[in-house]
């Protein structure tokens, strides 16, 4: 069931973000998505808004997201107009008869847009929706795209958390992996963000980038601690099929750290951060204190609805998963025609919804049996007795009263453990 720690990094998806796997979604289920959007929503379910800005200065060699590096200003404006039309169409549907609990500007690189473009976009969006009462508004940034003026504009959009895609502090490693920014821009941007008033900053790092060394990794953690962001998120390098590096690995032209090395580096980083006063928030994130919240993450991992707007974006509404069309022109054309740009969908069974929450909450390092009894009338300890016993015997999980808690070893490899909870038809299938 578990993956050996010595296994080499192979091409394919490792990080699990949803269930059932995306490879089971289809165009035939789009009608179910339309039906869910037309139904009166469950007012008890939080609602979030995701806005995908798919533009980047460069495409990272490990990136698998739908991003574009070749669009001119006319293309960008056409996309922003289409994004506004999509939000307008959603605003007319019953599903939106709730306030937003959270909003998230993701990418791509939202900070690729100029301050003028950002303010114009948000002015247009606010004709149809508002996130003024949201508990959290997050904005992803690439350090080299920021100025003090743009940061002030982002602040004025109502953003409460700035997420900086640092990934590494070594310019040689950044260049090798196709990152557009360099380390001096990180420090300059961080100071600017503090100066304009951001009080919740997250720094993203990646363990195991091509060219990484143990000495450099320790230096990256030391520099992160010196900056003292409110949270630090560390991902382990993976190579999905559509990443530039995936072909190089298949041809054996690049060397990528194995999983044992990456997990050791994350463990060392977490230990250093803990010594500096940080606390574990999930398998990927350390926070400076317990008051630092991740509303977007916690709401989604507990079954919230989310409308994902923009090319290739993912949504979850009323027990139905769906994804937008994943081509720039098709996305814009569908909205020019006044139609939602749905690409594929899947209606999820109650059991699958339960499994989805179970595996996502395990990423927090624990699940509460009482939560699942109350919400799904299922004792997960009995329902998954064999899987849980296997995890316990392999030292990955411990049972404490009504809680099931991953050990440090389990937390470091959580994504490799989750498929054991999948239904039989989904086990061994391609994830994306």
CB burial of residue 425 (10 Å; 0-12, 13-18, 19+): exposed
Please name the helix (run of DSSP H) or strand (run of DSSP E) that holds residue 186, with its range, or none.
Answer: helix 183-195
Closest CA to 112 of 67, 56, 74: 56
Q: What share of the chain is helix, strand, coil (3-state, %, to 5)?
A: 45, 20, 40
Q: What is the pLDDT of residue 245?
A: 87
Closest CA to 206 of 407, 15, 403: 15
Domains of the chain in start order, with CATH, are 22-299 (3.80.30.20), 349-432 (1.10.10.920)
Q: What is the pLDDT of residue 252?
A: 61
Give φ, ψ of 242 to 5 degrees: -95, 10
**Cα separation, 45 vs 295, whole angstroms:** 13
Q: What is the pLDDT of residue 5?
A: 41
Is residue 279 within 8 A of residue 22, CB to CB? The reply is: no
Alpha carbons within 13 angstroms on the beta-carbon side of residue 413 total 25
Q: What is the pLDDT of residue 240?
A: 84
C-alpha dihedral, 160 to 340 to 301 to 230, nearest 10°: -20
Alpha carbons within 13 angstroms on the beta-carbon side of residue 123 total 7
Is residue 162 within 8 A of residue 141, CB to CB? The reply is: yes
**Cα separation, 68 vs 153, whole angstroms:** 23
Q: What is the pLDDT of residue 206?
A: 98
Give the Å distances, CA to CA, from 170 to 143, 146, 185, 213, 296.
14, 19, 12, 10, 30
Please report, in tens digits, the pLDDT of each residue of the chain (432 residues total).
Answer: 344 444 888 877 889 999 999 999 999 999 999 999 999 999 899 999 999 999 999 999 999 888 999 999 999 999 999 999 999 999 999 999 999 999 999 999 999 999 999 999 999 999 999 999 999 999 999 999 999 999 999 999 999 999 999 999 999 999 999 999 999 999 999 999 999 999 999 999 999 999 999 999 999 999 999 999 999 999 999 988 888 888 776 666 677 899 999 999 999 999 999 999 999 999 999 999 989 999 999 999 999 999 999 999 999 999 999 999 999 999 999 999 999 999 999 999 999 999 999 999 999 999 999 999 999 999 999 999 999 999 999 999 999 878 999 999 999 999 999 999 999 999 988 888
Q: What is the pLDDT of residue 255?
A: 77
Q: In angstroms, what is the C-alpha Rg of the chain? A: 21
């Amino acid at each position: 069931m578990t993956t050996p720690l010595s296994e080499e990094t192979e091409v394919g998806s490792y990080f699990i973000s949803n269930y059932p796997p995306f490879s089971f979604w289809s165009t035939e289920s789009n009608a179910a998505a339309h039906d869910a959007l037309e139904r009166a929503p469950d007012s008890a379910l939080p609602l979030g808004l995701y806005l995908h800005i798919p533009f980047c200065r460069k495409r990272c060699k490990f990136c698998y997201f739908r991003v574009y590096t070749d669009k001119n200003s006319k293309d960008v404006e056409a996309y922003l107009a289409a994004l506004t039309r999509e939000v307008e169409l959603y605003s007319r549907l019953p599903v939106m008869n709730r306030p937003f609990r959270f909003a998230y500007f993701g990418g791509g690189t939202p900070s690729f847009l100029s301050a003028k473009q950002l303010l114009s976009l948000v002015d247009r969006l606010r004709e149809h929706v508002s996130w003024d009462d949201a508990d959290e508004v997050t904005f992803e940034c690439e350090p080299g795209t920021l100025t003090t003026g743009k940061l002030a504009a982002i602040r004025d959009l109502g953003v409460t958390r700035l997420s900086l895609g640092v990934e590494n502090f070594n310019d040689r490693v950044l260049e090798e992996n196709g990152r557009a920014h360099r380390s001096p821009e990180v420090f300059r941007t961080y100071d600017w963000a503090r100066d304009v008033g951001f009080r919740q900053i997250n720094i993203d790092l990646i363990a195991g980038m091509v060219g990484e060394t143990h000495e450099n990794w320790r230096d990256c953690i030391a520099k992160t601690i010196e900056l003292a962001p409110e949270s630090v998120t560390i991902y382990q390098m993976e190579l999905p099929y559509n990443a530039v590096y995936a072909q190089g690995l298949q041809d054996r032209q690049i060397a990528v750290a194995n999983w044992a090395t990456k997990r050791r580096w994350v463990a060392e980083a977490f230990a250093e951060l803990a010594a500096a006063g940080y606390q574990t928030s999930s398998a990927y994130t350390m926070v400076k204190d317990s008051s630092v919240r991740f509303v977007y993450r916690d709401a989604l991992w507990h079954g919230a609805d989310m409308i994902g707007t923009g090319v290739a974006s993912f949504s979850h509404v009323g027990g139905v998963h769906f994804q937008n069309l994943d081509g720039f022109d098709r996305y814009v054309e569908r909205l020019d025609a006044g139609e939602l740009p749905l690409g594929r969908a899947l209606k999820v069974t109650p059991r699958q919804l339960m499994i989805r929450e179970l595996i996502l909450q395990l990423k927090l390092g624990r699940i509460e049996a009482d939560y699942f009894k109350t919400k799904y009338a299922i004792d997960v300890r009995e329902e998954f007795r064999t899987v849980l016993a296997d995890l316990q015997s392999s030292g990955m999980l411990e049972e404490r009263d009504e809680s099931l808690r991953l050990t440090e070893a389990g937390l470091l490899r959580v994504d490799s453990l989750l498929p054991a909870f999948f239904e039989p038809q989904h086990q061994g299938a391609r994830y994306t």
